[in-house]
Structure 1
């Protein structure tokens, strides 16, 4: 497991990732999506497991689910479980907001 830190502090991360906005980022060769809801952050594979559409162009609802812009499949941001649609679950990554920034754990 590898850990990466995004931002220089908690406040810096809040500046980098506005509330409810979906951000696209790269860690190594992985393209990831990031959403912040208050002090909780969700990091996930940026591509839909169904047809590979870019989830960072999707929408996040009030149940913390992201919807795919291609077929409106929905995935729970915390676990990656598919909630609407017929495909595998979305890969998610542990992310903890600390005073030093957002700590993301990658396999």
Structure 2
């Protein structure tokens, strides 16, 4: 899979200051809204629109099980794989995240050339 990489922070420290532990932040990356979550295991990028009814996951809370919980109907999405924890709706997309010397990057899947 080919990705285009988009810099969202200058470094990991800045990212963790902007998104404190157990918190989320809405990011706009190349026209997509992405929820960045800071867990004890590190940073995770997941689609912001809840697959159930589209509400912003970045307005939700993080559970102790590394799930983001939608504030509307409490649907829970694993930050490890995007699966909805009770299998009631579609899974959320997890975006690859890379921490490099030059910054923190989120990968968006490139559309194949036609």
Question: Quick one: which of 58, 65, 87 aligns to 1:56?
Answer: 58
Structure 2 stretches of 5 or more lacking a match? 110-114
Alignment of 1:22-101 (within 5 A): 22-38=24-40, 40-101=42-103
How far apart are the structure 2 equivalents of 1:43 and 1:59?
Answer: 14
Q: Is the 2:7–2:105 Cα contact (8 Å) retained in structure 1?
A: yes
Aligned to 1:13: 15
For the residue of structure 1 that corresponds to 2:85, the secondary structure is strand
How far apart are the structure 1 equivalents of 2:14 and 2:74?
Answer: 32
Structure 1 residue 96 displacement after superposition: 2.4
How far apart are the structure 1 equivalents of 2:22 and 2:65?
Answer: 12
For structure 1, which segment, 55-64 or 77-86, has the greater mean C-alpha deviation from structure 2 after superposition? 77-86
For structure 1, which segment, 78-87 or 41-50, has the greater mean C-alpha deviation from structure 2 after superposition? 78-87
Kindly tell me: are residues 61 and 90 of structure 1, through their superposed partners in 2, closer, same or farther at Cα, counting changes over 3 Å? same
Aligned to 2:107: 105
Structure 1 stretches of 5 or more lacking a match? none
Structure 1 residue 15 displacement after superposition: 1.9
Q: Is the 1:73–1:85 Cα contact (8 Å) retained in structure 2?
A: no
Report runs of 4+ in structure 1 exceeding 4 Å deviation: none
How far apart are the structure 2 equivalents of 1:52 and 1:92?
Answer: 16
